[in-house]
Structure 1
């Protein structure tokens, strides 16, 4: 599946994330931010557009109702960040940590998570369209009551993930791994799985599979 990549340039001028703190309309555009530490802060309705962020830390920061468009995060730590009720479009997360991140009630479009950690992250009640999870750890991640359209899980760890009330119709998880998964039988209808995963689901349903 092809998705639209962030529209960013290699030669954006540098800015500091703290430039946003005292702005009435916290917006950063057409810039790059490196080695910024913005932890345990509260800054709502942030707007980032055409921004590259590298080696930054945003642990435990509250970014509720944020708008990210054409943004690339690389080697960033967003563990336990609050991004609930946000709009995240044409965004890439490369080699990032979003462990325990709150991404609930958000809209994701043309987003790629690559080689990242999203264990215990919460996507509940979000809409994901054209989203690729590539080589991502999603252990105990919560996708409760999400709308998934053109979403791919490639070589991911889905162990303990929760897809309750989320239809997996047309979703391919065949290259990913898990020991257990929370999902209802009806929501598995149309999900693309490997032979081994089919046996796993049958076992979870209480069936006894004989060769």
Structure 2
């Protein structure tokens, strides 16, 4: 699946994330932020546009209602970050850690998560359209009551992920691995799985498979 990539200009201004405290309207755009630490803070309705963020630490920070567009995160730590009610479009998270991050009731479109850790992340009640998870660990991640449209899970660890009340119709998980999933039978209809996964699901449903 092809998705729209971030539109980032070649000439970016060097900035620091703490610069947003100097403005009434917390906005950063057309800039590059490198090696910044912004932890245990709370800034609401932040806007990030046309920006590259590298090697930054944002653990335990409250960014609820954030608006992120045309931005790339590389080698960043967003563990336990509050991103509730966020709007995230044309964004990439590369080699980043989002352990326990909260994306509840967010809109996520044309987004790629690659070589990243999202264990225990919460996406409940969110809407996804054209999203790629590639080589991502999603253990115990919560997708409760999400709307998934054109979402790919490529070579991911989905063990113990929760898809309760989330339809997996036309969602391809065949290249990913898991020992168990929380998902209802009706929401599995139309899901694309491997032969081995089909046997796993049969076992989870209590079926006895005979040779």
Task: Decide: shared fold, TM above 0.5.
Answer: yes
Give the Cα–Cα distance (whole angstroms) in 2 for the partners of residues 121 and 9 of structure 1. Answer: 31
The runs of 5 or more residues in structure 2 that have no matched partner are none
Q: 2:106 maps to which residue?
A: 106
Q: 2:204 maps to which residue?
A: 204
TM-score, scaled to structure 1: 0.99
Q: 1:57 maps to which residue?
A: 57
The runs of 5 or more residues in structure 1 that have no matched partner are none
Give the Cα–Cα distance (whole angstroms) in 1 for the partners of residues 195 and 9 of structure 2. Answer: 43
Give the Cα–Cα distance (whole angstroms) in 1 for the partners of residues 152 and 21 of structure 2. Answer: 36
Cα drift, residue 210 of structure 1: 1.4
Give the Cα–Cα distance (whole angstroms) in 2 for the partners of residues 103 and 115 of structure 1. Answer: 19
Q: 2:153 maps to which residue?
A: 153
Alignment of 1:48 with 2:81, yes or no, is no
Cα drift, residue 10 of structure 1: 4.2
Tell me the matched-pair count. Answer: 211
TM-score, scaled to structure 2: 0.99
Find runs of 4+ consecutive structure 1 residues off by over 6 angstroms. none
Q: Residue by residue, what CA displacement relative to the aligned partner does 1:56-95 show, whole Å, maximum 9, x if unpaired?
A: 0000000000000000000000000000000000000000
SS of the residue corresponding to residue 15 of structure 2 reads: coil
Cα drift, residue 9 of structure 1: 3.1
Alignment of 1:21 with 2:45, yes or no, is no
Aligned-residue Cα RMSD (Å) equals 0.6
Give the Cα–Cα distance (whole angstroms) in 2 for the partners of residues 128 and 12 of structure 1. Answer: 29
Q: 1:32 maps to which residue?
A: 32
